[in-house]
Each structure stands twice: as structure tokens, then as C-alpha cells.
Chain A
Amino acid sequence: MATTIEAPARPTRPARRRRSRRVWRNTAVGWSFLLPNFIGFAVLTLAPVLVLFYLAFTDWNVFGVARWTGMANFRRLIHDQSFWTALENTLYYTALHIPLTLGAALGLALLLNRRLRGVAFFRTVAFFPYITSIVAAAQVWNMLFSPQYGPIDAVLRPLGIAHPPGWTVSTTWSMPAVILVGTWREMGYYMLIFLAGLQTIPAQLYEAARVDGANAWQRFRAVTVPSLRPTTFFVTVMLTIGSFKVFDLILLLTNGGPGQSTLVLSQYIYQTGFQENHFGYASAISVVLFVLCFVATIVQFHVNKRRSV
């Protein structure tokens, strides 16, 4: 045994040492690149996040020592009506906000991906909501939505709608209103990413399709959609995480109301933590939210992989 190994081992040993030296060197070089960012990231983000995962299994009121309670917080979640309402609302928001934003962003991108005078202006306009401060935007939208004095309903009334919706002060319409504002705000951002994706599609593909006699719709289905898949995937992933975590928009627009009609998970976390002072429980809800985002991303990843095969 020993001799058989000895023979081939001799020449490779320096090679292996060389390889291990290279691995060591690469590791050092790699870390030297990461370090300036990693130190800040590890201390300021990663450490608190790890603490949060620990706190999810404790009873903590911010001031005292966190008391380990095992799965108690998660058991409590199962019977918490508000949690389920918040989860339901979050899914409602996500389910509508993603396709709407995706559609609006893609539509705008297709419209603006051509040679037109003033195209830069329109692109800037589309991006404007994203740079407008959210505090100011919420203030303005609330006034626009005002059921008695707001311009939106003032426009709807002459159009024959006798009882226009109460928007942010209606339990039925508050969520659509929030989704509308969310889409308004984010479509320009994703439009730019789509625009970039469109610009990378080789023109030859369109030419080939045209030669085959495909009309505009067929070209869109056969060339644009598949070529855009990587971009679409990225946009959906970012949109999903963003939608699950939606917070300040709702806080400023409706504060979760009226009733619990726009209460979402992020806000419920804030409420249980800061208003009711159950930080351990709030951490447990955060972990659920994190898992949701994670699972959604993994699912999308697999769907995307299967489609692109």
C-alpha cells in the first residue's frame, strides 16, 4: 500500500503544495478586496441580523435581558389573527404590485426603446417618482385621494361615477390605492433596467424573425420575451423582496388603516416592537418574513431555470 502511494505521490507533492499556496494566496487577495466593505458590513449589518435571529427565540422588551423561550413566539404566531391579516394583506399587495409594476415597467421600456425626439425627457419623467421624497409623495397622494375635495374623485364624478371610491379612507379601496401609488413610484426604476435589457438583444434576432414572416406580436413573443428572461428574472426577484418588505409607503399613506385593511407584515413588526414592546415576538415575525422572501426567491430561481432550459 505504502509503496503504491509513494510512487505517484512524490512528483505531485510540490504541485499540491504549489496549489495550496495558490489557494492561500488567492484567499488572501480575495479577502483584501472584501475587507474594507466586509468589516463595515459584518459589524453594522451582519452582527445585528444574527442577533435578530437569536432574539426571535426569546422574550425581550428592549431594556432587560432577552429570556430564551424556544419556539413560544412561533406558537403564538399561529393563533395571532393580526399576523394572519398582515400576511394576507402583504400577499395581496405582492400579488397585484408585482404584475402591475412589471407590466407598466415593461410597457414603458418598450415604448421608450425607440428613436423618438424627446425620449430622454420621457425617461426622466418616468424615473421622477422614484426620486421624489416619499414623505412629500404620501402627502400629495393623500390629498389627491381625498373623497370629498380630492381631484381624483372630482374627475371621476363627471365621468358618471356617482359614488367614487374613498381610496385611502375606505377599507375596500385602501389597498388598491396603496398598490397604485407603489406602482407609480417604482415603475420607472424597473423600466430603466428593462430598457437596458432590451438594448442588449442583438438586432439580428429580429431580422431573422422578420425574414421568417413574423408580425410584431410574434416577434415580441419569440424574440423579446425569451431574450429578456434574465432581466425579467432579476426584476421579479427584486420586486418580490421589495413587495414583501413594503413599509414606509404604507406607514405614511394609510398607517395600516382604516381598520387593519392595509396592515402589512413590516408594519406589524414595527407595531409589536415599538408600540407594544414585544421585541422578541417582532423578531420572530421578521424571521417569517425573511423565510417568505427566501422561499419566493428560490421558487423563482427554479422556475426560471426550467424555462430557460
Chain B
Amino acid sequence: MKRLVSAALGLTAAASLLVAGCSSGSPAASASAGVPSGPTTLTLAGWTLSTTPEFKALADGFHAAHPNVTVQLKEYDATNYDTQMIADLAAHSAPDIYVLKNLKNFYTYQSGGQLVDVSDVAKSLGSGVGGLSDYQVGGKAYAIPYRQDSWVLFYNKALFDKAGIAYPDGSWTWDKYVSISEQLTAALKDRGSKAVGDYQHIWQSTVQGFALAQTPGAKLTSGDFSYLKPYYDRALALQNAGAQPTFGTVSTNKLTYQAQFGKQQAAMMLMGTWYIATLLKQQRTGDADTFQWGMAPAPQFDASTTGTSATPVTFGDPTGLGINPAISSDKVSAAKAFLEYAAGVQGAKSLAAIGITPADTAAVASDFFSLKGMPSDSLSKFAFSTHDTKPENPVSKYTTGLQDLLNDLHTAVMSGGKGIDGAISDAQSRAKSQVLNQ
């Protein structure tokens, strides 16, 4: 009997999927941010909680400021976060507040009606919060950034000293970077070190992110990808010169960037500022060697944006928080207050305390550099707080499709399977016939 009932329920559920669909309205969209006085419990999505402390830091910090609101964490898989979240949202079993890992999937959630309008929260936040505008569609905000990582150049001072080469000074263009990396590799080899000049992780963003952000006139949705060519030429040159591990080695051995830089296998590494927290922690626990390191602005497209008097151009997607429209309406105001807290100065400070780059970098720079193990030179501070950060995934209907085919380009070119010119023209024709015409 129980089986029959559940069967009936199941069939009804399947039918409702076809006929009724899911409601996607935003309840109480205009509710002003304010915390209800009664006890409230909010649920928040996070991943790998044991090694990712930021979610707990925000939840605890918010609870301390609003003792009547408890924030419960729901754990997701780090690599398959979006797959699990899409399934949960479709089945209405997602938490009240969820994280938008990057801008790539923001469009999916926003256009699918899975985000509550939070324009009022955006308005109440100061202009110091980076990445706020990336989440706006048609003049309304659908998520609030609480982290804004930017890509900078990490370098190992000890290895530079060993090679007898001067530290980065903020004046580098890409050509300079390539030549320094090759010099480092040769000098380190001479001095009996196995370390190489730089490490480039297998992600497409290590090449394409900079190319898109820095090249004047480059636009993802234009379907013209010729801006990638000089960046790939340089990446391949470094790989062929032995100044960085090859793509094949990195992907088949599943090399990790944490080990490559942390275990001093490479003297330089371009990486997002999220790596600061990891490096500090690994140096503390012994998972990484203890050595002096520093940060410098990423190499630039040309000399016009180099030097500490200019603003270097780099890229990075904000990490945002959004509210699930399935949240019960009496919790919306508490959820909005949580977003405001996370993106505001208080949240920024509690994130900075664990080494995470908040969306409001200026507000926390001094707290940040007082952490144990942080470098203290002025260029590191400059690199951390001054940059023009362009989104890696400019929000549009076509972004995911285009990034997918550009990832094919990346793996084909970096593995040596295709020349860059042929790969670009292939990608352009695929973009035209498969993505931009949809």
C-alpha cells in the first residue's frame, strides 16, 4: 500500500513537472533589509567545509551580530557544486542562500528565475565593494559579491635570490615576463636547483583571462578571438623552452598549483588572490615549504598600464551570494541582512582574518597584511589593493557556450594538437554556427 501511495505521488510529481512547472517569482522582492525579532534559521550553501573556513566565518560572524538568527551550512561537492546546485534548485531542495562561484553560471540561475531581486541591498552598500555591477541585469541586482579575487603574480623571493635576478618591480609587460622566466630557469639549473621559472596551471583562464581583460577592444561575445594569439604564442614559447611544466605533464599527473609553488618547484606563478589563504595555511601546517614570497601586479599588455602610478589591468570573477526564491517569505529580510553583512565592512574583516580577499579590498588591506606570514613590501600591498579587475566571464546568454568551446581551443593548442591560427578559426566558426545564432 505504501508503495502504491508513493508511486502515485511520484507520477503526480512527474506530471507537475510537465504541466505546472516551477514557480519562479521573487517573494517580497522589495522588503527592506532588516532582521526579524523572532528566532530565525537560514540555510547557506558551501563546499568542502573542512578545508574552506569562509562559510563558517560568515555564519558565525552574522550570528554574533544578530543572535536571534542562526545560519546553518549545507555542504556541497567542490568540483561538482553547480551540478548539485542545479539539481537541488530544480527540485526545490536548495538552501535559502547559495553561492555563485563565478559569473559563468550566474546567467543560468538569473535567467532561470532562481535569484531574488536584491537591488535594495546593492544600493545600501558602498562603492568600495568590487564586482557589484557584474551581477546587474536590466538595472536590477540579483546577487551580492562578498569576495573579489583578482589575478596577481606570486613569486618566490628565495628562488629569485638564488638565481641572482631582481624581484618584479611592477613594470613588467608579458615579453619581460617570458624573458625573466627563461633566465630564471637557466640560472636555477646552473645552481643545481630543479625549480623552473614559472608554473602555469591547466585552466583556460591562465591564458585567456588575461588576453580578454587586457587586449584593447577584445570582447568575448564578438565571436572574434584573434586577441588570443599573442598570449598563446608566449605560453607555448615558455612551455617549449622548458621554463614551465608542459600541459601534458600537468594534466596527466594532475599536478596541483599549490604544490608547484608551495614546494618551490616554480619561482613564479600567476594565480588568483584566493591562493594567499591557502599558502599561509600550508606554510603553517608544513604542507608547503617555508620561504619568503611576494606579490606583484600581473604582467601587462603594453607599457601604458605598468608602473605603480598606473592601475594594472587584470581579471577575476567576483564570488557572490544570492537568495533562492523558494525561501519562505518571512525569512527574506533576514537573508538580505546576511548578504549586506557578508559584503559589508564587518564581513570583509572576518574574511580578511582568515586570509580571504573580500569584495571590499580597500577596507581590509591593513588587517590583511598584518596576518602572520604575509609579505610586507609595498609592491605586494599595491598588487593586492590596486587593480582594474575585469570579469573573466562577462555575463551574457552566450558566455557558457563560448567558454566551453574556448576550453576546447585551450586544451587543443596547449597539448600541441592544433596550431593557434587553425584553432582560432575553428573556434570562430563554431561560435558563429553553434552559439551566437541561438
Find out whether A and B make contact in their complex, taking CB atoms under 8 A apart as touching.
yes
What is the number of contacts between chain A and chain B, taking CB atoms within 8 Å? 132
Q: Is the CB of B254 within 8 A of A47?
A: no
Tell me the chain A residues, 251-290 only, with Cβ under 8 Å from chain B: 256-261, 271, 274-277
Give chain A residues whose Cβ lies under 8 Å from the Cβ of B253.
142-143, 146, 149
Chain B residues close to A by CB (< 8 Å): 3-4, 6-7, 10-11, 14, 17-18, 20-22, 24, 82-83, 86, 89-90, 108, 111-114, 246-249, 251-254, 400-401, 404-405, 408-409, 411-412, 414-418, 423, 429-430, 433-434
Q: For A80, what are the chain B residues with a Cβ–Cβ distance below 8 Å?
A: 433-434
Taking a contact as CB atoms under 8 Å apart, the answer to whether A81 and B433 are in contact is: yes
Given contacts A47-B10, A258-B412, 10 further A-B contacts (CB under 8 A): A47-B11, A54-B18, A63-B114, A64-B22, A66-B21, A81-B430, A146-B248, A259-B415, A259-B423, A277-B400
Residues of chain A within 8 A of B430, CB atoms compared: 81-82
Given A66-B18, A143-B252, A276-B401, are A44 and B86 also a contact pair (CB < 8 Å)? no
- Given the interface pairs A146-B253, A258-B417, the reply to whether A64 lies near B404 with Cβ below 8 Å is no
Please give the number of chain A residues whose Cβ is less than 8 angstroms from any Cβ of chain B in the complex: 47
- Enumerate chain B residues within 8 angstroms of A169, measured Cβ to Cβ: 247-248, 251-252, 415
- Is residue A183 within 8 Å, beta carbon to beta carbon, of the partner chain? no
Q: Which residue of chain B has its CB nearest to the CB of A38?
A: B7
Note all chain B residues with C-beta closer than 8 A to A142: 251-254
CA distance A257 to B252 in the complex (A): 12
Beta-carbon nearest neighbor of A54 in chain B? B18
Known: A42-B7, A64-B24, A65-B20. A139 touches B254 (CB 8 A): yes
* Alpha-carbon gap, A59 to B417, bound state (A): 35
Q: Is A61 an interface residue (CB 8 A)?
A: yes
What residues of chain A lie closer than 8 Å to B6, measured between beta carbons?
A: 43
A277 and B112 in contact, given A64-B21, A260-B408 (Cβ under 8 angstroms): yes
Distance A82 CA – B427 CA, assembled complex (angstroms): 11
Within 8 A of B (CB), among A229-265: 256-261
| A65-B20, A147-B249 known; A259+B112 contact, CB < 8 A | no
Taking CB atoms and an 8 Å cut-off, the chain A residues in 111-163 that contact chain B are 139, 142-143, 145-150
Cα distance A275–B248 in the bound complex, in angstroms? 25
Cβ contact within 8 Å between A39 and B254: no
Question: A277 — which chain B residues lie within 8 A by C-beta?
Answer: 86, 108, 112, 400
B252 and A145: CB pair below 8 A? yes
